[in-house]
């Protein structure tokens, strides 16, 4: 299978980002690493923030796109297993940690990434909507806090603390979160 120029650029972009951090990321080095000219890169993306936003939206929305599993706890397990899969990848973990810090320092990156985060949050809202429709949680639930609570414990353990999460941990976490959302 032949790798497209866009795929080569994407791979190089993420490798460079994980290696140097966003602030050290050079689009010229990305193009060179992908064995393409700078013009090929700039025809696709006008700047680093646009490239980050586009590439993250292509790969990141799939993380929480797990569909209905039949119950709140099963939906939560599916989302948590998907998040765990992503956070087990060293490069993804490096990029996510850097991304969250860099968004505070780089307004262009924040503006580029927020819409992507809102779309990902909408997928979690779908999980909440399904649970409400099944009568598993109350319609009056604080959606923002519920959405925060779904991903935060696993992210904190794996990304921030560098801990591990096995199947039993994810299943227990899903039970705890489901229980908390029901109250």
Q: What is the pTM of this model?
A: 0.80
pLDDT band at 65 (very low <50, low <70, confident <90, very high): low
DSSP assignments along 102-150, one per residue: HHHH-HHHHHHHHHHHHHHHHHHHHHHHHHHHTTSS-TT--HHHHHHHH
Per the rule left: phi > 0, alpha: psi between -120 and 50, beta: everything else, 147 is: alpha
- Tokens representing 12 are 């190089």
Distance CA 145, CA 137 (A): 14
Picking from 19, 80, 22, 79, the residue whose alpha carbon sits closest to that of residue 55 is 22
Query: pLDDT tens digit string along 84-101?
Result: 988 888 888 888 889 888
Q: Residue 64 gets which letter from DSSP?
A: G
Close Cβ partners of 178 (under 8 Å, ≥ 6 residues apart): 72, 73, 76, 136
Q: What are the pLDDT digits (tens) for 3-38?
A: 699 999 999 999 999 999 999 999 999 999 999 999
């Amino acid at each position: 299978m032949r790798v497209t120029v866009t795929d080569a650029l994407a791979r190089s972009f993420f490798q460079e980002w994980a290696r140097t951090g966003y602030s050290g990321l050079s689009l010229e080095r990305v193009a060179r690493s992908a064995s393409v000219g700078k013009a090929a890169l700039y025809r696709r993306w006008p700047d680093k923030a646009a490239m980050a936003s586009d590439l993250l939206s292509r790969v990141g929305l799939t993380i929480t796109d797990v569909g209905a599993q039949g119950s709140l706890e099963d939906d939560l397990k599916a989302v948590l297993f998907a998040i765990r899969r992503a956070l087990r990848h060293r490069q993804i973990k490096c990029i996510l940690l850097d991304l969250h810090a860099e968004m505070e320092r780089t307004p262009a990156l924040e503006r580029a990434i927020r819409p992507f985060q809102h779309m990902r949050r909408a997928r979690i809202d779908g999980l909440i909507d399904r649970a409400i429709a099944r009568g598993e949680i109350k319609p009056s639930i604080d959606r923002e806090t519920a959405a925060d609570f779904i991903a935060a414990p696993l992210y904190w353990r794996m990304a921030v603390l560098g801990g591990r999460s096995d199947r039993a941990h994810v299943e227990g976490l899903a039970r705890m979160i489901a229980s908390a959302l029901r109250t």
